[in-house]
Amino acid sequence: MPLSPATRIGGAGLLALVATYGIGRQAYGLFVSTFREEFDLALDVLGYYASAAQAGYLVATVATGVLTARYGPRVPVVSGCLLLAIGAAVTASAPGPILLAIGVIAAGTSAGGAWAPFSDAVDNQVPLSGSRRALALVNAGSPVGLMVASSFVLLAGDRWRAVWWGFAVVGLVAAAAAWRVLAPIASDPVLLRSRPRLGWFFNPRSTRLFVVTVGVSITSGAYFAYAPDTAQDAGLAGWIGPAMWAALGIAGAAVGLFGGGIANRYGLRGPLAVMLVLVGGSTLMLLVAPGSVAAALGSAALFGVGFTTGFAFLVMWSQQVFQDAPTTGFTLAIVFIAAGFIVGPSLFGVLATHVDRATALLVSAAPALVVALVPPSREDRDRTHGQDMHDEAASADAD
């Protein structure tokens, strides 16, 4: 039986984000202690590697907006997946710190090419009735990638180079899938000749989106950087990190896949607020029950649900705000996401070092909880929900 457009595009997006986000951008923390021992590197040097990868991600995100507008989504997505494969292969074979840095930075940079183009791919290749399902499927790639990475680490044990060779294979598979499924060219050359004005990017509707995006990203960035370390600092064994990331991935994917259906049924406002509370609350769980395996794994699972489904809702929200050029608008949203991911770890690290870890957890959780009070504009939350219901009814009448 042939796959629906939503499944084909969403599945290709899931694979792309497994490779570039779950592995290339978010799995680095699993290897910090290994790299420190293997290459005799200090923690601050490894932090510079992560910062450089984040800078590369920002540059790639901007370039992706230009490439997608000119060539369509296939070029940036395939390029991002191939860059992950190359970066993983360089990391796996690195004899010293220099090539290790190049490989890690390339792997982290790869994520900049993979996410935003699927806004255009879904808009151009998927019927409106299936767009939310496709976007939710794409967004589930991030936690699935963490689950894959954690499984590789747990199975391979000390053979970390074999894990990174496996990552390279995942990148090649994702590139092949994207090449086969995505449209080779931009579908609407008329839009390419018009340059959006500043008011198209920044207006009352988009400002709400960007505020929420930055807030949840600050909390999420701190969690991804320090949650396993916080659990270990409370006395848990070293295996808790991969186990937490596996729990995060399983729970996030299990619920995130239904994000489109949730939004269709209940709209964006209430479900998004719930997911933001989960992101902030899961951070506080590490403070309330330190040293508890159940609390650590439960925190990771709740964070996975909130992060995956919440960011799926943000993609849908952005799709509505910037419906004339989804990738162009969402590229700017990703810049705000990246800014939050830069601020979050730095904020946590400074507070944990100069005050205490409890204060760092409280302050890091606050942004996601505060922006949960900021809803989409009435135009977005009403039209988004109502429009889909109207489309579904029209589709049923046609059948």
Q: Do domains 1-187 and 199-399 have the same CATH topology?
A: yes
For the chain, which residues make up each domain, given as ranges? 1-187, 199-399
Q: Which long-range contacts (CB under 8 A, 24 or more apart) does 313-316 make?
A: 313/259, 313/263, 313/268, 313/271, 313/272, 313/275, 314/209, 314/212, 314/213, 314/216, 314/272, 315/119, 315/135, 315/138, 315/139, 316/132, 316/135, 316/259, 316/260, 316/263, 316/268, 316/384
Rounded Cα gap, residues 334 and 330, in angstroms: 6
Name the token pair of 286: 């590490």
Q: What is the CATH number of domain 199-399?
A: 1.20.1250.20
> In whole angstroms, what is the distance from residue 11 CA to residue 346 CA?
34
Digits of tens for pLDDT over the chain (399 positions)? 678 888 889 899 999 999 998 899 888 878 877 887 899 887 667 777 877 887 888 889 888 878 887 888 889 999 999 999 999 999 999 999 999 999 999 999 998 888 778 877 888 888 887 887 888 788 788 888 888 998 898 888 789 999 999 999 999 999 999 999 987 765 554 444 456 677 777 788 888 999 999 999 999 988 987 888 888 888 888 788 889 988 998 898 888 778 778 888 888 888 999 999 999 999 999 999 888 999 999 999 999 999 989 988 998 888 888 877 777 777 788 888 888 887 887 788 888 878 888 999 999 999 999 999 998 876 655 544 444 434 443 333 333
Predicted local confidence at residue 71, as pLDDT: 85
Looking at residue 194, its pLDDT comes to 56
- CATH no. of 1-187: 1.20.1250.20
The verdict on pTM exceeding 0.85 is no
Residue 298's pLDDT is 96
Token output for 330: 């969402």
